Chain A
Amino acid sequence: MLRAQDRPIPAPPVNPETKPFWDAAAAGKLLVKRCTACGAAHHYPRARCPFCGSERTEWTEASGRGTVYSYSVFRRAPVPYAIAYVTLEEGVSMMTNLVDCDLDGIRIGQGVRVVFKPTDGGPPVPMFRVV
């Protein structure tokens, strides 16, 4: 069993377009952008919808629940870690890390829940725990 350990997480660069996402992350909330013109959710968040081109996008709070779409444990790293795509209940998939778990026990399709992990001098970033 290879237990996930904390590794130094680089700070995400924040800009005016994405600041609400990171402010919410600091408050423990995961936001997803949704387009009010076509109705589609997207990630990563943009001011303009990547599906229809509309600027009528709004921030919505995600449930924080999802499933593992794919993953890979990077064993050659100084501190092994699991990169993953998690598909949120809202229908979009996001790159993330799977944390606080047995890295050898991760499987595609597992249910996961968001947790926020501190970064090196920036806002916390959303990661996921197996439920």
Chain B
Amino acid sequence: MTWSQMQPLLHDACLDTLFMVWWSTVYTVLGGLPLGILLYLTERGGLLPNVVVNKAVGAVVNIARSVPFIILIVWLIPFTRLVINTSIGPSAAVVALTIGAIPFFARLVETSLREVDHGLIEAVQAMGGGTWTVIFKVLLPQALASLVAGLTTTVIALIGYSAMAGAVGGGGLGQVAINYGYQRQEHGLMNITIVLLVVIVTVVQLAGDLSVRRLARRTGRQPAPVGVRRLWSANRTPGPRKTEVTEVAPETT
């Protein structure tokens, strides 16, 4: 394959990947953030303790998280068809990506909120603030750096997932790598898609770390380390857990 043949292919694939990652990120935040807040609020000893809701939501989240993504996509095909009338292409992939990432992000949100000092919540309650005030004036602003770190992790996981979605007809770089690189043995093309994915992940990670550092510096916390080694360890494990988040935004107080 010549470069002039590859170029439009890669161009479209890149746009598809970015399309999938962007929109699934948007919907993941819209769905995962409230869900994470709900998990945090309803836990025992929380602001709105509710064992039934907490256990039910927690169970759904855990189940969704333990299904391997590649299986989740296939399993969701009927649902995807119902929602957007098709089960192939980037738009269809967004549905599966979003549903796969919401539980993941919701747990990260819950963890981030738990790191917020309870004394701050108490202070706001003592001045007459209600639950909404606590959420919007304390929890979210105080957890912002940690939330951004969690989002970065989620986006990187979504990039990985989007490549998997490509394998089952979602389009994007993943599909190019499978269709041309693997099935037609176009090693050059395969390598280029890998480089492109690495570049995208690197850019996301650097941008995320930078924002976290900005936010952390403002609030007087220890700046998170930005370095090549950290970047690679994040790339190799696209599903980091709690420890990853605390590593990115350590509390000094």
Pair from one complex: no
